[in-house]
Amino acid sequence: MDLNKVKGYKTYIVMIATICYALGGMVAGLVTPAVGIPLILGALGLSALRNGLPKEEVKPEVPSPGSMPQ
């Protein structure tokens, strides 16, 4: 599997999976609200942190002193 296709989206995929797990577990009665609600809030907090980080920037290549024109 090529992970370059999901670059930048992995955090959001984990967030959606966690929310689905918490909601599905609460609907099915397998997860108590005391566990499900913090899971949902934690997933939303994770996505908020990820959204606040700047995207990767390409740094310009610094020319070496010998390659400068005279």
pLDDT tens by residue, 25-44: 999 999 999 999 999 999 99
Break the chain into its structural domains and give their ranges.
Answer: 8-51
What count of residues does the chain have?
A: 70
Residue keyed to tokens 């999976």:
17
Q: Which amino acid is at 13?
A: I
Whether 22 and 31 have beta carbons less than 8 Å apart is answered as yes
What is the distance between the alpha carbons of residues 27 and 40, in angstroms, rounded to a whole number? 14
Which of the two residues, 33 and 70, has the higher pLDDT score?
A: 33
Average pLDDT over residues 58-65: 70
Contact call for residues 22 and 5 (beta carbons, < 8 A): no
pTM greater than 0.95 (yes/no): no
